[in-house]
Amino acid sequence: MATDVQPSDNQQNHFFKEDPWRIFRIMAEFVESFEVMSRIGPAVSVFGSARMKRSDPYYQAAVELARQLARHGFAVITGGGPGIMEAANKGAALARGRSVGLNIELPREQKGNRYANVPLHFHYFFARKVCFVKYSCGFVFMPGGFGTLDEFAEISTLVQTERIPRFPLILFGRPFWRGLLDWMRRQMLGRQFISPEDLDLFLVTDSVEEAVEAILAYREEKGVPRRASKAFA
């Protein structure tokens, strides 16, 4: 049974005073970010914990991973903050590659790192997410928290539902991801919430070389351009 719900005066005032300006702010974030990101060339996004210490082996692995990707002509995209994001931006910068930081304004924790030579700043998470997905041809998920799991779940869903191509999805760190993968097999696959082939959408590895090779193989198979445009040279 349909109901005729009328907005209150406060709700109407909120819309007329705030929502149109919010729409313009969202549009501005998309316009600015699309203009910059459209010129960086083929890229790989690296996700992981902002709280990862510099002494952690995963931090060092992220540096080396990004360094190798940059040497092979890929831009490296991160969330622009500390931890794994800093590590990946550092590796790309050390190889004199495009080191992109999509920083988000947060009340705590997030602060831009100094290694991103293509920095962008966002107020909205969803606008930032679009840039990760729209401009990447590979995704690496290092150990992390809710944000990393959010990106993993969303990008896996986009690949599973064929909204984006079957880009390489790499879960780096077998010990970290093992428990989640076991749960997915028992609960999600066991109850037929996913198909067996859905668990083949991603590569699980502890090897920087294996991760890089998977991305290079995809580039060769799909004919992805080998370097960024001269606009950033």
Q: What local confidence, expressed as pLDDT, does residue 233 receive?
A: 34
Say what the pLDDT of residue 20 is. 81
81-97 tens-digit pLDDT: 999 999 999 999 999 99
Residue labelled with tokens 């790309």: 92
Residue 6 CA from chain centroid, whole number: 40
- Check residue 17 and give its pLDDT: 61
pLDDT under 50 in the chain at which residues?
1, 228-233
Q: What is the share, in percent, of the chain residues with pLDDT greater than 70?
A: 88
* CA separation for the pair 88, 60 (Å, rounded): 9
Where b means 16+ CB within 10 Å and e means fewer, 50-68 reads bebeeebebbebbbbbbbb
The amino acid that residue 155 corresponds to is I
Alpha helices, DSSP H, located in the chain: 9-17, 19-37, 57-71, 84-94, 125-134, 146-160, 174-183, 208-222
Residue 16: per-residue pLDDT: 54
For 106, residues 6+ apart whose C-beta sits below 8 A from its C-beta are none
Residue 8 pLDDT: 57
Q: How far apart (Å, rounded) are the C-alpha atoms in residues 155 and 178?
A: 19
Please tell me the pTM assigned to this model.
Answer: 0.87
CATH topology of domain 14-225: Rossmann fold (3.40.50)
